[in-house]
Amino acid sequence: MSNSSDSPSPTQPSHHTHPIPTTKKSSSSSLSWPSAFLIFSVLGPLAIALLIYQLDSLDPAPLPLHELTQPVAAAPTRNAHMLKGSEFVGAGALLAPEDVAYDSKSGLIYTGCADGWVKRVRLNESAADSVVEKWVFTGGRPLGLAHGHKNEVFVADTEKGLLKISEDGTVELLTDEAEGVKFKLTDCVDVAQDGMLYFTDASHKYSLKDVVSDILGGRPHGRLMSYNPTTKETKVLVHNLYFANGVAVSPDQNFVVFCETVMRRCRKYYLQGSKKGSVENFIDHLPGLPDNIRYDGEGQYWIALTTEVTPYLDLALRYPFIRKVLAILKRYAADRPHLEKNAGVLAVNLNGEPTAHYSDPELFLITSGIKIGNYLYCGSIVNPYIIRLDVHQHPAHPTT
């Protein structure tokens, strides 16, 4: 009999460990939270900006670049720091005095302000001693003014139309439409020796609050018009102007000079003679965007320049998409890029040739200028005063 130790033992099961399959995460199939946030923070605003750009109604048109890319009409003399010698008339009492009209008989300056008042300023030797009077409230926004032959004042009110203010302060609406089209931005006015009024509607599409859209849109909505106080007829003299602005009847009464802001030029419309009814350039390629124009009775026109032609402005005039972006920023952003600088006034002779240029890097949106005696007076659509500069003490010097 054999021992149990010699008996064959049963086979033991073998123990093998098999690895548990795992899923490997691919870095290409998912993004970390910081990466997703970064992409969204970049692409999200971009997508919103593109959507706003596509949906915005403004469709800027190309401008005739051959008229905007020529060398500027530079004056032989310049005072490029006019603020250094300037005084402020009516500081704090004049809210954005856009235009300046002068009555030589009374010595009064008339100006239209953003608070709806046409104010009179009695000048004194010291600017600080000048007296400001609230004269007439138009109920709108008075811009350009002209002193008439019967001590009345004609007002281009952007909200009301063309007004007449009698010497006693009575306000009369003369006209607010032409050819069945209402004025949207009655801008400037001048009176001829025969009593005819010449004025501009800067845009028949946009009002003053949307003025940037008109300028950046690059489409000609402006008109030069006349008003006959005898027949009460309003007549359109020139259509399709690029923001029609300042007007000034020539001293010989042969033509009226009018400014086109966007095109940086002033042209003349002939009132009589063989060229009656025709239009010619008076001065083009201005060194800035023109606003009002005044004749000083001494052989000089004074053209207000709201800004010089900066590199940024030049790009905007060249490319419609840049103008659209700027318009969107103006509409939706708290602050838009500040394009205006070196505003001032350009003096030109009776032939439209520049003679002197007054400006300052700190000035922008100067909208009117007129020389009275030794002084240059400048209005603005933003400043709370009228700038006064003694041009004899602070003259423009030769640039070469």
What is d(CA 235, CA 190) in angstroms, rounded to the nearest whole number?
15
Average pLDDT, the chain: 89
Q: pLDDT for 147-175, tens place per residue? A: 999 999 999 999 999 999 999 999 999 99
Q: How far is CA 12 from CA 3, 8, 15, in A?
A: 21, 12, 9
The pLDDT of residue 199: 99
In this structure, are residues 228 and 244 in contact, taking their beta carbons and an 8 Å threshold?
no
Residue 103 confidence class, pLDDT cut points 50, 70, 90: very high
User: How much of the chain, in percent, has pLDDT values that exceed 70?
Assistant: 84
Q: How far is CA 395 from CA 86, 213, 306, in A?
A: 12, 37, 20
**Torsion region of 243: left, alpha or beta (phi above 0 gives left; psi -120 to 50 gives alpha):** left
The pLDDT of residue 328: 78
- Which amino acid type is present at position 247? V
**193 has a pLDDT exceeding 80:** yes
- CA neighbor of 156 nearest in space, from 181, 134, 189, 184: 189
- CA neighbor of 223 nearest in space, from 209, 242, 207, 196: 242
Q: Which of 106-115, 277-286, 311-320 bottoms out in mean pLDDT, i.e. has the lowest?
A: 311-320
Work out the angle at residue 352's Cα, subtended by the Cα atoms of residues 346 and 357, and round it to the nearest 5 degrees: 15
Which two structure tokens, joined as six digits, stand for 244?
A: 């029609």
Which two structure tokens, joined as six digits, stand for 253?
A: 């009464």
What is d(CA 215, CA 204) in angstroms, rounded to the nearest whole number?
13
Q: pLDDT for 203-245, tens place per residue? A: 999 999 999 889 999 999 999 999 999 999 999 999 999 999 9
Buried b (16+ CB within 10 A) or exposed e, 39-54: eeeeeeeeeeeeeeee
**25 has a pLDDT exceeding 90:** no
| Domains of the chain, earliest start first | 58-398 (2.120.10.30)
Residue whose structure tokens are 């966007």? 262
Work out the angle at residue 144's Cα, subtended by the Cα atoms of residues 118 and 296, and round it to the nearest 5 degrees: 105
φ/ψ (deg, to 5) at 11: -70, 130
Give Cβ neighbours of residue 33 (< 8 Å, ≥ 6 apart): none
What is d(CA 388, CA 375) in angstroms, rounded to the nearest whole number?
6
DSSP letter for 92, please: T
**295 has a pLDDT exceeding 80:** yes
What is d(CA 338, CA 369) in angstroms, rounded to the nearest whole number?
23
Which H or E element spans position 380? strand 375-380
What is d(CA 344, CA 364) in angstroms, rounded to the nearest whole number?
8
Q: How far is CA 62 from CA 97, 217, 219, 222, 242, in A?
A: 33, 9, 8, 17, 12
